Amino acid sequence: MIYKKGGKELLFCRRTKDPYKGKYNLVGGKIEQGEDGFHAAYRELYEETGISEEQVTLKHMMDFTYYNQDCYVEIYVGSLESEVVLREEKHPLVFLELEKEDFFSLEKFAGEGNIGHMIEQVKDYGEGIAEEKQGRAEGF
């Protein structure tokens, strides 16, 4: 979850393939074998958008475990420190205004309402826990 400086807009990609083709989703990707979550979040954010670690500080906000799908999802949140030029990898990128959207809309947004839930969690409880910088992988 990447908020534009000022916190009034949130970054989305418009899916060009299934699942959720045509719907707005948060940017993300997969954690590689042996990779920690923070490293994966920064790597995927850069690959998908061109936003670097120098432009945003991510915080670990929540996780979802889907046992029936053998799927584990980590959610990271950050606010951009300045304006950025987005670089799309696969899906078109857009900032949407928080006050103008129904993020629980199943017609417009991916995730069966989870995006709306996550936005409400950030609004009510904050962005999450910052990474301990000690023990980070070499070169990251």
Ordered by where they begin, the domains of the chain are 2-130 (3.90.79.10)
Count Cα atoms within 13 angstroms, Cβ side, for 139.
2
The per-residue pLDDT for 14 is 97
Q: What are the tens digits of pLDDT across the range 59-109?
A: 999 999 999 999 899 999 999 999 999 999 989 999 999 999 999 999 999
pTM: 0.90
Q: In whole angstroms, give the CA distance from residue 66 to residue 11.
A: 24
Kindly give, in sequence order, each residue whose CB lies less than 8 Å from that of residue 127, ignoring residues fewer than 6 positions away: 59, 61, 77, 78, 79
**Residue 109 gets which letter from DSSP?**
B
Q: What are the tens digits of pLDDT across the range 46-64?
A: 999 999 999 999 999 999 9
